[in-house]
Copies of this chain bind each other. A is one copy, B any other.
Amino acid sequence: MTTTKLFPKGVKATEYFTGNAWIEILTNDIKNFDTMSYVVTFAPGSRNYWHSHPGGQILFCISGEGLFQEKGKPIQFLKAGDVVEINPNVTHWHGATPDNEFVHIGVSTQLSKGPTTWYSAVTDEDYYQMKI
């Protein structure tokens, strides 16, 4: 269960992330696929802000150890090979565990339903609630 440098790391994320994360766009032909796809690399401890997608999002976990939480539910632990379906308009966040990098492919589906809505940062208090 090892993946090494399957995709490029891409460019540093400049907003809506706590800590260091990198994004490499894989596909963005929205006209032909109504979809965007990308790789996100989260440094240990980093995560994105609470957000939701009007058309949904699918994550394919590629390497490392990650965390995922839907609003009002417990934090879930993610590892390479896990797949996460995030239904339209469900507020959530994802990121690395405190001690490990995490890499996932993300696919934003049905983009014609509208852009991502971003909310506040995931506080350290919320982030360190995970019991893993």
Interface residues in chain A, defined as those with a beta carbon under 8 Å from any beta carbon in chain B: 1-8, 26-27, 29, 32-35, 37, 55-56, 58, 60, 62, 80-81, 83, 85, 87-88, 105, 107, 109-110
Contact = CB atoms under 8 A, between A and B. Distances in A.
A37 B4 contact: no
Contacts of A27: 58, 83, 85
A interface secondary structure, majority: loop
Contacts of A56: 32-33
Contact of A58 (B2, B33, B88): B33
21 contacts: A1-B6, A2-B2, A2-B3, A3-B4, A3-B6, A5-B81, A6-B81, A7-B81, A26-B58, A27-B83, A29-B85, A29-B87, A33-B110, A34-B55, A34-B109, A35-B58, A35-B107, A35-B110, A58-B107, A60-B105, A107-B107
A2 B6 CA distance: 7
A31 to B, nearest CB: 10
